[in-house]
Amino acid sequence: MTDTLRYTPVEDIPKIRHELGLAFNSGRTRSIAYRKQQLSRLFYLVEDNQERIRQAIFSDLGRPRHEVDFLEISGTLLEIRDAYDNVEKWAAPQKSPFSLLWFTLSPATRKEPKGVVLIISPFNYPYFLTLTPLAAAIAAGNAAMLKPSELCPASASLLAELIPKYLDPELVRVVNGGVPETTKILELRFNHILYTGNNRVAQIICTAAAKHLTPVTLELGGKSPCVVDPKCNVKIATKRIWWGRLVNCGQVCLCPDYILVPESFQDEFVEALKDAYNELHPTDPKTSGMLGRIVNERHVERLQNLLDNTKGTIVFGGEIDKEARYVAPTLIRDVKADDSLMSEEIFGPLLPVVPVKDLDEAITFINSVDEALSVYIFTSDSKFKNKVIDNTRSGTAAANDTILHVMGPSYMHAKWIQSSLCS
Ligand code: NAD
């Protein structure tokens, strides 16, 4: 099922931006009570429409219901609730620490909303990655223009329908479209741009923002490695790597992208990966309903190209059905640094195993690839774990798990973003 997305006429976009500015200048977002009211409405937008959200994501990404409930619905509700509960604290002026230099004064830093924020979101989590930044923008007292990904037409249409029903329609506007519409948006001046997506488009965003000296927050992609110590719990390691690789059909920025194992351990680990996969997917994932689909044919072709050009050995998988947007979970071994699979973030259900001599070579390998979003270390030896953490750079790191480390209360997305949306 494919939904038709109504694109916003390009000529209307400057007017929408202008109206957002007028609404912001009305001053109503300065009230914390108003921000809380909008956040509670945003919460009910998701809560009341769970079934429609599930259907839209199924239409766009074929994603199983339990995966939608877990991150798109529960995760988004949790983030909005956190913003609601903390907005007073986040917005409160920060008093300067006592100093003899100014003890007769009471200096404080006020948190001022920036104005009109542009939020450009990607296809892979069409609700979480649009509404969590929106919660941050509302909590910080801004007006917002949302540009959802056109690659998820059902989700983008539903957002365009629901946002004006639930939120102040003058302060939050959805603009839908593809490259021409986004190009028009980027000609305009915003007070902050939040962009989540691929690194190539990030350069376009930054170039456009530079013309207006607009501050930008970027949430980009990367290749997140797994480093495996033969002394790890192999059963747990292999299951958790597969779960992380296959959730949302591998289309998660934090997916484990490739596995580094010692050469002497590759055979045993590959066998264990086969067993773990069979346990997780006992029936054909093409028909089981347990695996999502690739977002569109262009991305299926991209993955096909990576597989066609690999010099590694395919252990299992490899089936591709372009029309059904299906790419089978595929394990590839003996992959080298110059392989097609190492040329870009995979963003699909392909899992390469890269044999290395030892841990030092694994660390050199990781440092030779662009900085990772996360490094996953599978070991029961804390010295091994610390050696990887101390000698590599990544946004986050986790031991003996994948992805879930950013879903706990210690990493709240909206909380982190809102701090950049006030000055
Ligand atoms: P996408 O193709 O949906 O594009 C993202 C947004 O950029 C869309 O709204 C799209 O309309 C816009 N866009 C596309 N081409 C453009 C152009 N030429 N000019 C202006 N705007 C344009 O999604 P994507 O970028 O493929 O998303 C996947 C990427 O996002 C991956 O690299 C993933 O790792 C990354 N990502 C990062 C995070 C994070 O938190 N770091 C989260 C999710 C996704």
- pLDDT at 102 (0 to 100): 79
pTM: 0.95
Q: What are phi and psi of 99, to 5 degrees?
A: -150, 140
- pLDDT at 423 (0 to 100): 80
Ligand 1 center to residue 369 CA distance, Å?
Answer: 21
Which tokens hold the place of 37? 């009211």
Domain spanning 10-220: CATH 3.40.50.2300: no
Torsion sign over Cα 261, 265, 271, 277: negative
Alpha-carbon distance of 220 to 122, in angstroms, equals 10
Mind listing the pLDDT tens digit for each residue in 261-309? Answer: 999 999 999 999 999 999 999 999 999 999 999 999 999 999 999 999 9
Q: Where in the chain is the domain with CATH 3.40.309.10?
A: 224-407
Mind listing the pLDDT tens digit for each residue in 215-238? Answer: 999 999 999 999 999 999 999 999
CB 348 near ligand 1, within 6 Å: no
- For residue 398, what are the β-bridge partners? 376
Q: Which of 71, 76, 124 should be mutated for ligand 1, with most atoms under 8 A from CB?
A: 124
Q: Do the beta carbons of residue 10 and residue 175 sit within 8 Å?
A: no
CB 339 near ligand 1, within 6 Å: no
pLDDT band of 7, cuts 50, 70, 90: very high
- pLDDT at 104 (0 to 100): 83
Strand pairing class (320-321; 326-327): antiparallel
- pLDDT at 98 (0 to 100): 82
Which tokens hold the place of 133? 């930044």
- For residue 261, what are the β-bridge partners? 355
DSSP 194-259: EEES-HHHHHHHHHHHHHHT--EEEE----EEEEE-TTS-HHHHHHHHHHHHHGGGG--TTSEEEE
Q: Do the beta carbons of residue 20 and residue 173 sit within 8 Å?
A: yes
Q: Would you say residue 4 has pLDDT above 70?
A: yes
CB 123 near ligand 1, within 6 Å: yes
Strand pairing class (224-228; 256-262): parallel
**Which residues, in sequence order, are CB contacts of 198 under 8 Å at separation 6+?**
122, 220, 221, 345
- pLDDT at 419 (0 to 100): 85
User: Average of pLDDT values for 365-379?
Assistant: 94
Torsion angle of the four alpha carbons 63, 320, 348, 206, in this order, in degrees rounded to the nearest 10 = -100
Q: Do the beta carbons of residue 333 and residue 312 sit within 8 Å?
A: yes
Q: Which amino acid is at 422?
A: C
Alpha-carbon distance of 149 to 132, in angstroms, equals 15
Q: Would you say residue 373 has pLDDT above 70?
A: yes
Q: Where in the chain is the domain with CATH 3.40.605.10?
A: 10-220
Please tell me which residue in 11, 219, 301, 345 is annotated as part of the active site.
219
Query: Considering only CA atoms, which of 148, 378, 386 is closest in space to residue 240?
Result: 378
Q: Which of 57, 130, 185, 198 should be mutated for ligand 1, with most atoms under 8 A from CB?
A: 198
pLDDT band of 105, cuts 50, 70, 90: confident
- pLDDT at 153 (0 to 100): 98
CATH topology for the 224-407 domain: Aldehyde Dehydrogenase; Chain A, domain 2 (3.40.309)
Q: Would you say residue 409 has pLDDT above 70?
A: no
User: Average of pLDDT values for 6-22?
Assistant: 98
**Which residues, in sequence order, are CB contacts of 148 under 8 Å at separation 6+?**
121, 126, 130, 155, 156, 159, 160, 174, 176
- pLDDT at 2 (0 to 100): 46
Alpha-carbon distance of 346 to 307, in angstroms, equals 10
**Which residues, in sequence order, are CB contacts of 205 under 8 Å at separation 6+?**
120, 186, 193, 195, 216, 218
- pLDDT at 410 (0 to 100): 66
Strand pairing class (372-378; 350-356): unpaired
Edge-first strand order for the sheet with 143-147 is 172-174, 143-147, 116-120, 192-196, 216-219
Ligand 1 center to residue 200 CA distance, Å?
Answer: 9
Which tokens hold the place of 9? 């006429």
Alpha-carbon distance of 279 to 267, in angstroms, equals 19
CB 179 near ligand 1, within 6 Å: yes
Helical (H) or strand (E) element with 316: strand 313-316
Q: Which amino acid is at 382?
A: S
DSSP 3-20: PPP-PPPGGGHHHHHHHH
- pLDDT at 1 (0 to 100): 42
End-to-end CA separation in angstroms for the chain: 44
Alpha-carbon distance of 372 to 253, in angstroms, equals 10
Q: What are phi and psi of 20, to 5 degrees?
A: -60, -40
Helical (H) or strand (E) element with 361: helix 359-368
Mind listing the pLDDT tens digit for each residue in 33-58? Answer: 999 999 999 999 999 999 999 999 99
Of all residues in the chain, the percent with pLDDT exceeding 90 is 89
pLDDT band of 22, cuts 50, 70, 90: very high
CB 248 near ligand 1, within 6 Å: no
Ligand 1 center to residue 151 CA distance, Å?
Answer: 10
- For residue 372, what are the β-bridge partners? 394
Alpha helices in 285-329 (DSSP H): 285-288, 297-308
Q: Would you say residue 3 has pLDDT above 80?
A: no
Mind listing the pLDDT tens digit for each residue in 87-96? Answer: 999 999 988 8
Mind listing the pLDDT tens digit for each residue in 109-140? Answer: 899 999 999 999 999 999 999 999 999 999 99
Alpha-carbon distance of 372 to 405, in angstroms, equals 15
